[in-house]
Amino acid sequence: MNTMIDIRHVLPAIHVPTLILHRTGDLDIDVGGARYMAERIPNAVYVELPGVDHLVFAGDQDAVLDEIEAFLTGMPPRLEPRRILVTLLYVEIAGAMGIAARLGDHAWRDIVDAYGRVVREAVARYRGTEVKATVAGFLATFDGPGRAIHCARAISGQMHARHVDVRAGLHTGECEVIDGEPHGVAVQIVTRVAARAAPGDVLVTSTVSDLVAGSGIEFEPVDIRLMAGSNRALQLFRVAPRTQPTGVVPRDVVDEDGTAVSESTPLSPREREVAVLVGHGLSNRHIADELSISVATVERHVSNIFNKLGLHSRARVAVWVAQRGLLNPDPD
């Protein structure tokens, strides 16, 4: 990055501060030469940057320009925050404090652990990014509002099956990204939307509902307007429950031998995932390979599935999965 010169002829002429930049792993000129120069030039400002490139216009150019700007102005460069357009999802356990007080610390911890697993698996499945987590709340971002809505539905449904209701809010807007986290008005809006949701509800702003028009997702207007500024109000909508497809039995499913299979003991997210693969006809070995787990773990999950559903064969598990429309899940 620098030019090696005979400094004996230069030293007497240098009376002003001099900036010397060099990359630590420079593959053309050893960094020791730059250090040697900096020690012997009066008023030298020496900055060592990470990298291996020698040319100034190669590698991390922004770091070079920032150091030059700081040297010339005497002020650190002003970093402009990056702004991105994202869909934000905030979901929290409804009535968390009351549940914790009623159940006690041990049972509450079990609920929080299960809730964290459900949320993180759903966010990963629908290609979201977890931003921040508290004991009862999660903030995540998505690059599409449709996937965010499906994620909120999945979380709400799975937690309801565990007799715990959550409430969720969604909003799409521009955020400033600082240290990898979104900040700004949009984040404040989405938490306020979630706070106005009833247990089990998924509320969205009109911005979200407009963006997914034509997607098949239905909404119900609610008598709530959220002030997002001195003269701007956002209408809120409730995501309507899914209607059961034809042929899917909503509660007690009749098995092929006429036995009613109760859903009062739902499968865990991993057990449901294994059940779907069983429904696709995969062996335990193939399921283990698909999910990157051991065969013994698959066998344990299959045994749990049989016990929870009261079934005795993989064929009947396949029927159970098919009746719920799980063989072709659509993560949007």
Range with the lowest mean pLDDT among 109-113, 191-195, 211-215? 211-215
Quick one: tokens of 308?
């929870």
The reported pLDDT for the residue numbered 1 is 55
Q: Distance between CA 242 and CA 321 in Å, rounded? A: 18
| Backbone phi and psi for residue 287, each to the nearest 5 degrees, phi listed first | -65, -40
pLDDT at 270: 85
Residue with the bigger pLDDT between 29 and 169: it is 169
What is the CA angle 91-94-95, rounded to 5?
145
**Whole-number Å distance between alpha carbons of 159 and 95:** 13
Angular region, 127: left φ>0, alpha ψ -120 to 50, beta rest: left
Q: Which residue has the tokens 């809006």?
A: 189
Give the residue carrying structure tokens 């959220």.
226
Q: Which CATH number fits domain 253-323: 3.90.76.10, 3.40.140.10, 3.40.50.150, 1.10.10.10?
A: 1.10.10.10
- Enumerate residues 6+ apart whose C-beta is below 8 A from 36: none
Question: Which pLDDT tens digit goes with each residue over 34-89?
Answer: 888 888 888 888 888 888 777 777 777 777 787 887 777 777 766 656 788 999 99
DSSP conformational letter for 200: T
Task: Tell whether the model's pLDDT for residue 332 goes beyond 50.
Answer: no
Q: How far apart are CA 41 and CA 65, in angstroms?
A: 22
- Predicted confidence band at 313 (pLDDT cuts at 50, 70, 90)? confident
* CA–CA distance, 163 with 317 (Å, rounded to integer): 24
- Given a cut of 70, whether residue 263 has pLDDT beyond it is no
Coil, strand, or helix at residue 265?
coil
Cα dihedral 198, 151, 229, 95 in deg (nearest 10): 30
The secondary structure of residue 318, as a DSSP letter, is H
Lowest-confidence segment of 49-53, 197-201, 226-230, 322-326 by average pLDDT:
226-230
Identify the pLDDT of residue 187: 93
* pLDDT of 329 strictly over 60: no
* Better pLDDT: 309 or 210: 210
264 has pLDDT over 60:
no
The CATH number for 82-239, chosen from 1.10.10.60, 3.30.565.10, 3.40.50.2000, 3.30.70.1230, is 3.30.70.1230
Confidence of residue 239 (pLDDT cuts 50, 70, 90): very high
Query: Which residue is associated with the tokens 């979630």?
Result: 194
Contact status, residue 113 vs residue 121, Cβ threshold 8 Å: no
pLDDT at 327: 67
Where does the pLDDT of residue 247 fall: very low under 50, low under 70, confident under 90, or very high at 90 and above?
A: very low
Which residue did the predictor score with more confidence, 51 or 168?
168
**Average per-residue pLDDT in the chain?**
80
DSSP, residue by residue, 20-70: EEEETT-SSS-HHHHHHHHHHSTTEEEEEES-S--STTSS-HHHHHHHHHH
Q: Which residues contact 247 (CB under 8 A, 6 or more apart)?
A: 323
Give the whole-angstrom CA distance, residue 285 versus residue 298. Answer: 8
- Integer CA distances (angstroms), 74 to 17, 68, 318, in order: 12, 10, 70
> Do 194 and 165 contact (CB within 8 A), yes or no?
no
Domain ranges of the chain: 7-73, 82-239, 253-323
CA dist 78 and 20 (Å) reads 21
Q: Which residues contact 200 (CB under 8 A, 6 or more apart)?
A: 94, 156, 160, 165, 166, 167
Where are the alpha helices (H) located in 162-257, listed in sequence order? 185-195, 206-211
pTM of structure: 0.53
Share of the chain above pLDDT 90, in %: 29
- Main-chain dihedrals φ then ψ at residue 102, nearest 5 degrees: -75, -40
Q: How many CB atoms lie within 10 A of CB 166?
A: 28
